[in-house]
Chains A and B, each alone.
Chain A
Amino acid sequence: MTEEELKQIKPTVTVDARGTYCPGPLMELIKEVRQQPVGSVIELISGDAGSAKDVPEWLNKVKQEFLGVIPGEGFWKIYAKKVKDM
């Protein structure tokens, strides 16, 4: 998705993981992916530079959908969609 398209997304839930260190943001995202129903869009806000690379890698590994990243000032907004149960 383009950044413009990502900005239009209304996430099912937002997880603000700023202030946690790797792998904290990823673990916070995983908790939501487990809890939310299939079809949910999760917005993860991370202050950890690694997350923008780490999260897509994990989503790919567990076959969930990575929608994209919006870089901010000192943080990243990462979008994921739960496409199957886990």
Chain B
Amino acid sequence: MAEKLAIMIVSEEYEKSHVASMIASVAAVSGIDVSIFVTGNAVFNFLKKNVEKKNFTGGKLYDLIKEKKATLFYELFDQAKMLGGLKIYVCSMVMDICGLEKDDLIDIVDDHLGLAAFLGIMEGAETITF
């Protein structure tokens, strides 16, 4: 496996952000540099107002995750950031279109990036898209 992992999260479905955070956290603590690029509707999962109200687009699995109080995706990302090399970037274009500021995003987001910058990060990295 490459020592660089790039994960793109595009869909707002909760389970996709969740699986992305699981893979990212285990990779990050295994010495792999992980970069997350949040774009498309997935941006709504990284907004403070939605995280505070746990307002996510879920399904059966999300209902059970809530019921069993399993660690949620943003908590997994947070843990991974404390223990390993993980950066989270949000797509500048989506932020523009939605009229979002950095302050609207949860604190685990490092920065917003354009595609050219993210392509640079993806170079030589194993890439997974959700």
Task: Out of B31, B68, B70, B79, name the residue touching A27 (CB < 8 Å).
Answer: B79
Interface residues of A, count at CB 8 A: 13
**B76 to chain A: closest CB distance in Å?**
8
Main SS at interface, chain A: helix
CB–CB A22/B22 < 8 A: yes
Contacts A34-B83, A58-B30, A61-B30 aside, 11 further interface pairs with beta carbons under 8 A come to: A21-B71, A22-B22, A23-B22, A23-B26, A24-B70, A26-B26, A26-B29, A27-B79, A30-B83, A31-B83, A61-B31
Chain A interface residues (CB < 8 Å from chain B): 20-24, 26-27, 30-31, 34, 58, 61-62
Residues of B that sit less than 8 Å from A by CB: 22, 25-26, 29-31, 68, 70-71, 76, 79, 83
